[in-house]
A and B are shown apart, each in its own frame.
Chain A
Amino acid sequence: MSDPGSRIEDLVALMARLPGLGPRSARRAVLHLIRRRGTLMAPLAQALAEVAAHTRDCSICGNIAEADTCDLCRNPARATGEICVVEDVSDLWAMERGGAFRGRYHVLGGTLSALDAVGPDELGIPRLVARVADEGIREVIVALNATVEGQTTAHYIAEALAPTGVTVTGLAQGVPIGGELDYLDDGTIQAALRARRSLQG
């Protein structure tokens, strides 16, 4: 039988691999859990085990799902003829927090990257092209990061979708809500100026 101390060390080592936690903060978190074994640690362990056993990638959009397809893909009210392309599930959650988009999503799982040798084949772009035809999509909104890799991917998607005739749009870039010009970087100011709009209705 192994030493209980080594089990705790194993748990600390695992917790330290979580984002935002280093070895010291992981040790504090583990100690907190041990002190609340019945009320927190056991339910947490059960919840972790259940999520690990029952979650998978949605076979349609790549979102996290508890069945073969996710809630968003099964919801008929979401069939608006619009697909929002995002890089990661965290981006999908951010879009859903905003509540402004009521269509369906497509999660790429990354962006084209020379650094990480990620090419078009590694991303779900052929699957997206197939969805556009199968689901009668009218508009694809490419909501990727305003980085070189994000925009390279966005332009690649626009080219890949060109033969389908679907409308492809991208998110605007400019001054954030509550942003002050004096604190913005030059690139954002340039992008905002290019995307200026009339204020006369």
Chain B
Amino acid sequence: MDWQDEGSVLSMRRHGETSAILEVLTRDHGRHAGVVRGGASRRQAAHLQPGTRLALSWRARLDDHLGVFTVEPARARAGILSDPGALMALNSVCALVRFALPERDPHPVLFAVTETLLDLLAAGDAGWPRAYLCWERDFLQEMGFGLDLSACAVTGTAEGLVHVSPRTGRAVSAAGAGVWADRLLPLPPCLRAEEAAAPPADILAGLATTGHFLERHLAPELVGKPLPAARARLVAGLSARVAGGGAK
């Protein structure tokens, strides 16, 4: 069994003294693990850091074996290391994908949005917090917990949508919310439309909404474990930036 594909590193763990077990998110083969011979060496260490894009060749005797990767660096994303916020976002992305995505299940849409986000993080783009929020929304969609933000679940209107139902994930307008408004989750414009303005407070409100569905629905129903701490650290970091007035 063998295949060639491209993917980004999610994690690397030493295996014995010289090898490493690499976990990557690939375009055509989803989340996939394999052994990299000599992966613990100094020569290979830089290529195997989370976020690095690799050209991968996987080979195994049987399809259900762990298999062996041969890797070539395709795109270094070392810029992420120097930005604390981008680093927290990278950790959160890798942790959530490893947490919830089943192995060897192709998710080309998730791969594409993840690559776009990682490129933004590496480039030091100031808009990464909004891109991260949209990534979480798309991640929920790919995992089967998508939010329906197209129209109000109560009135059917597509205008004035400001809430999300915590149970169904459907949008609710201000008029439709009525007396239930304080029990609904916030729906900032940046969570619906890519082009909407995204002040830091809106980003945090959006993360509170996606976080609700990650924590209360995806984690217990799909995995049965609490969310990885890396996401909480990212939200805490963004909140601290907003409190300190340093949010981009």
Contacts and interface: CB of A to CB of B under 8 A. Distances in A.
Nearest to B83: A155
B228 A114 contact: yes
A180 B11 CA distance: 28
Given A114-B95, A148-B51, A190 B78 contact: yes
Contacts, number: 64
A165 interface: no
Interface of A: 19-20, 114-115, 117, 119, 146-148, 151-152, 155-156, 158-159, 173, 185-188, 190-191, 194
B46 A188 contact: yes
A19 B40 CA distance: 13
A165 to B, nearest CB: 15
A148 B87 contact: yes
B49 interface: yes
Interface of B: 11, 13, 17, 45-47, 49-52, 73, 75-82, 84, 87-88, 90-91, 94-95, 98, 228-230, 233, 237, 240
Contacts of B228: 114
Contacts of A115: 11, 13
A142 to B, nearest CB: 12
Nearest to A155: B84
B8 to A, nearest CB: 12
A186 B84 CA distance: 20
Main secondary structure of the interface of A (DSSP, over half): helix
A16 to B, nearest CB: 12
29 contacts: A19-B17, A114-B11, A114-B95, A114-B228, A114-B229, A114-B230, A115-B13, A119-B229, A146-B81, A148-B51, A148-B80, A148-B81, A152-B87, A152-B91, A155-B84, A159-B84, A173-B81, A185-B46, A185-B76, A186-B73, A186-B76, A187-B52, A187-B77, A187-B78, A187-B81, A188-B78, A190-B79, A191-B78, A191-B81
B156 to A, nearest CB: 42
A188 B228 CA distance: 30
> In the complex, which of the residues A19, A147, A148, A190 has the most CB atoms of chain B within 10 Å of its own CB atom?
A148
Contacts of A155: 84, 87-88
> In the complex, which of the residues A146, A152, A156, A173 has the most CB atoms of chain B within 10 Å of its own CB atom?
A152
A199 B46 CA distance: 28
Contacts of B240: 159
Contacts of B51: 148
